Amino acid sequence: MSVRRDRRERMQHQREELRRLRQRMRQRGHELRRMGSRGQPEESRAAILHAAAIEFSEQGIAGARTDAIARQARVNKALLYYYFHDKEALYGAVLDDAFGRMRAAIFHALDSDLPAREKILAYVGTYFDFIASNQIYPKLMQREMMRARAGDSQHIERLVKNYFEPIYRRVSELLHQGIKEGTFRKVDPAHFVPSMIAMIVFYFSGAPVMRRVFGFDPLTQERIRERRAAVLDFISAALFRPCAGAGSGVHP
């Protein structure tokens, strides 16, 4: 009995708080479309997506709890199902959002008008920076890559078609171009591209373990800058024709 009343009181209290919140927002001039009781459809959707991205990246689809996502998004669980049909679809939306941003960043670098040598460094650098400032992505990516088995993931096909394949094609072409020009060593894109991605992605997804192995945090600004240089150096050394140019243009 008293529990029930407590709950109801809390509920009512929450309602009032929301009303005040809404008024403040209106005063601040937030654009208001059609409104529900809370009146923030876009904000709610975004909050769910953001909370879901974190939860999925940390726990995986199976480990992620829809309750936890809802709580983090400060939204009722049923709202997840209102906006995104089910858990799997929500996961799909998170992936599309993530890889969409990634593709945009990478294509920006690949569209630049640079010689092969500089362009591949721009690609690696951009990719690195993107991952570094969005550290849930490498986990999301590796989790999904590992799930791509038999009939497991319904998303892979789409992700490959929309994101991975187009990016791979462009980078592959770039490598061939550099090889033909004589700037690059004769490498096989089907091996070199995964190697580059591996070096960028693995460092961040493996950071928690590395912290314990090394005895220091590999994710400080300083260390990340260091890593960036190391990756570019590694790739330069492995890709560029040896004994040709002098400096490798590593330092951004």
Partner DNA sequence: ATGATCTAACTAACTGGTTAATTAATCATG
Partner DNA sequence: CATGATTAATTAACCAGTTAGTTAGATCAT
Binding footprint of a second copy on the chain (CB under 8 A): 58-63, 139, 142-146, 148-149, 156-157, 160, 164-165, 168, 185, 187-188, 190-192, 194-195, 197-199, 201-203, 205-206, 208-210, 212-214, 218, 226-227, 230-231, 233-235, 237-239, 242-243
Q: What whole-number distance in Å separates Cα of residue 51 and Cα of residue 71?
A: 9
Q: What whole-number distance in Å separates Cα of residue 249 and Cα of residue 252?
A: 7
Residue type at 88 in one-letter notation: E
* Cβ-based neighbours of 186, under 8 Å, separated by 6 or more: 179
HSE-up of residue 127 (Cα within 13 Å, Cβ side): 26
Identify whether the C-beta of residue 88 lies closer than 8 Å to the C-beta of residue 158.
Answer: no
Give the footprint of DNA on residues 38-67 (CB under 7 A). Answer: 38-41, 43-45, 64-67
| From the list a second copy, DNA, none, partner contacted by residue 5 (C-beta under 5 to 8 A by kind) | none
Q: Which of 9, 17, 24, 36 binds DNA (CB under 7 A)?
A: 36
What is the per-residue binding string for DNA in 165-204, x denoting contact by CB under 7 A? ----------------------------------------
Nearest-approach distance from CB 188 to DNA, in angstroms: 41
CA-atom Rg of the chain in angstroms: 23
C-alpha pair distances (Å), 209 with each of 119, 129, 142: 32, 21, 16
Identify whether the C-beta of residue 119 lies closer than 8 Å to the C-beta of residue 106.
Answer: no
Q: Binding segment for DNA among 34-42, 126-134, 163-171, 211-219 (CB under 7 A)? A: 34-42
| From the list DNA, a second copy, none, partner contacted by residue 149 (C-beta under 5 to 8 A by kind) | a second copy
Q: Binding segment for DNA among 12-20, 104-112, 116-124, 148-156 (CB under 7 A)? A: 12-20
